[in-house]
Every structure is written in C-alpha cells, then in structure tokens.
Structure 1
Amino acid sequence: MQADHALGLFDGQLKAQNRSEHTLIAYHNDLVQFFDFAALESGVEPEQLHVDQVDIYIVRSFLGQMTDRGLERKSMARKLSALRAFFKFLCKEGILQKNPVQRIATPKLGRKLPHFLSIEELNRLTQAPDCTTLLGARDQVILELLYGSGLRVSELANLNRQDIESDSFLLRVRGKGNKERIIPLTRYALEAIRNYLAMREDNQEALLLNYQGTRLSVRSIRRILDRLALESGLSHHLHPHMLRHSYATHLLDGGADLRSVQELLGHAKLSSTQIYTHLTKERLREVYEQSHPRAKKM
C-alpha cells in the first residue's frame, strides 16, 4: 500500500478515537516528514513510497538525522510515538506483517514539572469576563470548566447541553479514546452555565458556540484564554492545560488522594497523575526553605 493512502487511513482512525486536533496535526506532519526521508533513502518519489519499503534501518537513520540536527529529546519522542502508532495500526489492520519500529527504544526524557496558577491568579482570571454579555458569559463557562472540572480543551470543545446533569451537579465527559467519565460540577460552573444558556436563543446542541453560532473550536478556546490572561494581568502565556494542572495540584494540596485525582482527570495510568505529587513536594520544599529558620542559607 502507498504511504500516503495508509496515512489517510491512519488519520481517519485517530479522528474516530477522538484524538485532539493538536495530536492529529502533529502526527500527520511527523509522518509526512518521515515519508519524505524514507522515499529519499529508498530512491523513489514520496508519492511512490510503499509502507512495506520501510525497515528498521530507515527508521534508525531518520532518528539519527534528527539527532544530528539537534532535535530535542521531547520532539524526538513525539516523532517516534507517531511512527509507533502508525505502524502498529498497519499491523493490526493486516496491511503489514512486520512492525519496523517494534525494536526501537524511546529516548529517555527528563520530566518537567507542569506550570500551574496560584489561587490569587485564578481569582483574577475568573473575574476577567463580562458576564452580562453573551460572549463574556461563555468565556466564564470556559474558565469554570477548565479549572473547576479539570477538562482537557478537546473535551471542553466537544461538550453538549445534554452532558450537563444540573440536578446532581455532574458532567458527562468523553475523553481520550472516546472513553466516558462522570465528574463533579462546581457551583460556580453550574451558575455560569445556567447564566450563559439563559442568554442563548438557539437550539444548537453544542454547549459552547462562537460568535457565528457554531461550535467553538479548540483553537478558538486557546485564543480566548490568551486574551483573558492579558486582560487579567497575567505575565505569562495561558495554555488550557495550565488550568488542568492547577485543578489537579489544588486538589492534592487540599488533601485529595491520588487515585481519586487519577479518575477525575481520566488518566489511564497512575504514573500520569503522580507528577502532581512531585509538584506539590517541590512547592512544599520552597515554602519550608523560605519559612523555617533552620532551612535558611547562611
């Protein structure tokens, strides 16, 4: 099968799995870059490359070239993740019999602690929208759900009206792999949702709409957050995941157990949640060193 045809099938599979727009674009671009390299190595034009022409030596040469170009290990790991997912899909579908990436080791990464907002910063941020206007009320919903319920930005964009269980203060969320989970709604979030929907004069099922009356995209949510960060005086770029990080960190700071936070975040593995314990330990160390007389440096 030609590589570009196989890539089209793989893109369709990722969309069916409800993967984020960012992942779709990143994986697609990484694979196109790899195909160009593999075609050059195989002595054919990219559109003539077949997936069964790729072997472990081509994969290793590609990764070697990326290393020579000074590519960061995090970016290298992402490209390798795209290749793993792609060739695993081809083998599962019976398009390939042998996976050329199976014996390639993933480069070890130094794990960075996620950034999160302080309570004071969050208070300033949630006071930024003008809730007397339709779009301001919508922006308030965005903030209350990203921080109050720890949603991924893709989960937020895909929410529908019927996902809100007002009587029980619960929210039905479809996460990675189209897995559904039920998480609590804060009183602030529910009030923001009710205020926003009361201003709407449409029958659209999407919870969040843009100014044209269609579903709000992930990219638009990112732009809205950047604007709100600027309006509230935050000195740094506000990524949607920063609000999710803040949600998890503040839960653990408040005494929540790790397993509960894992379930609320929709993490498949506990190790994905454990990074937040490192974050709180680092913060405790800073508080201790700044506050205890025995900890202060001479």
Structure 2
Amino acid sequence: MGSAIDSFLAMLAAERGAAANTLAAYRRDLEGSEDVVGALETASREDLARLPGAWADLAPATVARKISALRQFYGFCIDDGLREDDPSTALPRPQARRPLPKILTHAEVEALFKTAEDEAASERPAAVRMLALLELLYGSGLRATELVALPVSAVPRDAPFLTITGKGGQQRMVPVSRRAQAAISRWMEVRPGGSVFLFPSRAKHLSRIRLYQLVKELAARAGIDPAKVSPHVLRHAFATHLLEGGADLRVLQTLLGHADIATTQIYTHVDSARLVALVNERHPLAGGRGAS
C-alpha cells in the first residue's frame, strides 16, 4: 500500500529508532485505516470522520492508539510537503486512561523467593536458573524481552551493573544487587556452555513465552494465584516497592528505561499511603501544633 506510509515508517526507524514491533503496529493501524477511507495521503476530513464508526467495537485504548498513529502520520506528511492540511483534526481526542498496574504485596514476593530459594538448594540447573531469573525480574526491574535476550557479556565483572538494550535500541545501566549477583554466579556454574546468551535454549535463548510459563508455575508452587503473577507484574513490584522505600521518581524512570516520566508516574497511585504519612510526619506544621 501507499508509499507515504513506507516513508513515514522509514522516518520513525531512522530518526526515532522505533523498534520492529512498533513499526509493524503503526503499519497495521495505518493500512487498516486505508481499508476504510482509501489512500491516506489524499483522504479528506470527511473521509477520516468515518473512521470512528468503523472502530465502534474496539477498546478505547486501541482507538486512541490508531488516532495517535494517524496524527503522527499527517504531521509527517505536512513536514515532508506531501500535503498542506491535516485531516486528522476530524478525529476525536479520546481520553484513554492507562490501566493501573497489578501489584504484589511484600509477603507474596517473599513467598515467591522462599519457594525459588528452597528449590535452588537442590542445585538442579532449572531451579538455579529460576532463582536467577526471579532475582533479575524483581531486583532490577527488567522487561521480559530484555531479560531473556541478555548476552553473557552483560554479566557484571568489576562493576555491579548490567548494560541493557531496551526499546528502540536505547541502552541503559541497571544496578544488580548482591543477591542477584550471587544468583547469577550460581547459574553460571551450572549453565550449559556454547551460547552467547545468559539464558540459552535449544533454539536461541529462553523465549518470553517460556519465561511467563516458568513464573506462573513458580507462583502456583508458592501458593499464589498464577493469574496475579507475570514477569511484567514483577517489574511493577520492583518499581512500586522502590517508591515505597523512598526512591526518586526520576531515578526510577532511568532504572525502568522509560522515555517519558509520565509512564513512570503510573506507579505513584500505589504510594498514596506513604505520601500521606510523609506529609503528616515531615511537614513544618506537623507534630501536633495547633493552628493559631
């Protein structure tokens, strides 16, 4: 379909470092819109006004994503001289609310670790690997895709940091706790050789799907509803519990690899109790002094 879409996607890849999955999602959204209104580079406001009707059965977040793709596409068309007007002004501006993250209690996290540690005491490679995976998910807040694709070369030697390549090919340094370092060292002693990946499998490296399965199986053995637990939920727990411990939001943004701090701010909702206590304990008028 339209070369304007190809040019737009090429710009996203070259100038913004958009990942392959992101580019594929943009293409689906834009070409799906073309199926309704025809070539986007020549579509009118009236043409685009038909799109919300075609999206009537979609979730608000999905509609918001499609509208965002179209707005960016037409901004590119204007910047590139492909057209002078922006027909996407005919589209609504949905207020899609970001879903609140699932969270685990400290007790649930402790139950997961106790089960993993008890099982790793057997020194079975699969159990030792599970403990290392859990330590990196909760102890460093890695995304599932970042974790499974870790090369052995990323394992810290002198400095307690991992070099992570995240979304859009952006690199960041992530601290590794002493516990995680110890778990990785145990795994390195029993890990199969011959692979550049820290967590190898027969194909390439441990798949993200298999990681999800392993985490849910561990949750079941720990007596926790598997539906409550996933690698992403453990990443949320890492962020939430750091905030509870007093971590700065900007530091947390860096650790999680968020390009926009607005993404990180979603975690502040779970920290309201601590914020209230902080005001009551630290505010200059706290401490029982009455108003004059």
Whole-angstrom CA distance in 1 between matches of 2:41 and 2:32: 17
- 1:10 aligns with 9
- 2:215 aligns with 225
Q: Which amino acid aligns with 2:54?
A: Q
The alpha-carbon distance between structure 1 residues 270 and 9, as it changes in their structure 2 partners (threshold 3 A), is closer
Does residue 123 (structure 1) correspond to residue 110 (structure 2)? The answer is yes
Q: Which 10-residue stretch deviates more, 276-285 or 132-141?
A: 276-285
Q: Which amino acid aligns with 2:189?
A: A
Q: Number of residue pairs matched?
A: 270
Does residue 205 (structure 1) correspond to residue 196 (structure 2)? The answer is yes
Deviation of 1:17 (Å) = 3.8
Deviation of 1:247 (Å) = 0.8
**Identical positions, percent:** 33
TM-score normalised according to structure 1 size: 0.75
Deviation of 1:230 (Å) = 2.3
Deviation of 1:56 (Å) = 3.9
The alpha-carbon distance between structure 1 residues 9 and 157, as it changes in their structure 2 partners (threshold 3 A), is farther
The 8 Å contact of residues 166 and 190 in structure 1, kept in 2 or not, is answered as no
Written as runs of structure 1 = structure 2, the 5 A alignment for 1:179-258 is: 179-210=170-201, 212=202, 214-235=204-225, 236-258=227-249
- 2:160 aligns with 169
TM-score normalised according to structure 2 size: 0.76
- 2:66 aligns with 79
Written as runs of structure 1 = structure 2, the 5 A alignment for 1:1-298 is: 2-3=1-2, 6=5, 10=9, 17=17, 19=19, 21=21, 23=22, 26-38=25-37, 42=38, 50-67=39-56, 69=57, 71-84=58-71, 94=80, 96-97=82-83, 100=86, 103=89, 104-129=91-116, 130-131=119-120, 132-210=123-201, 212=202, 214-235=204-225, 236-281=227-272
Deviation of 1:182 (Å) = 0.8
Deviation of 1:170 (Å) = 0.7
Q: Which amino acid aligns with 1:243?
A: L
Aligned CA-pair RMSD: 3.4
The alpha-carbon distance between structure 1 residues 138 and 8, as it changes in their structure 2 partners (threshold 3 A), is farther
Per the alignment, in what secondary structure is the counterpart of residue 165 of structure 1? coil
Deviation of 1:171 (Å) = 0.9
The 8 Å contact of residues 18 and 175 in structure 1, kept in 2 or not, is answered as no
Whole-angstrom CA distance in 2 between matches of 1:195 and 1:77: 46
The 8 Å contact of residues 14 and 24 in structure 1, kept in 2 or not, is answered as yes
The 8 Å contact of residues 139 and 180 in structure 2, kept in 1 or not, is answered as yes
Q: Which 10-residue stretch deviates more, 259-268 or 82-91?
A: 82-91
Deviation of 1:79 (Å) = 2.5
Q: Which amino acid aligns with 1:34?
A: S
Whole-angstrom CA distance in 2 between matches of 1:253 and 1:162: 33
Whole-angstrom CA distance in 2 between matches of 1:8 and 1:208: 37
Segments of 5+ residues of structure 1 without an aligned counterpart are: 43-49, 286-298
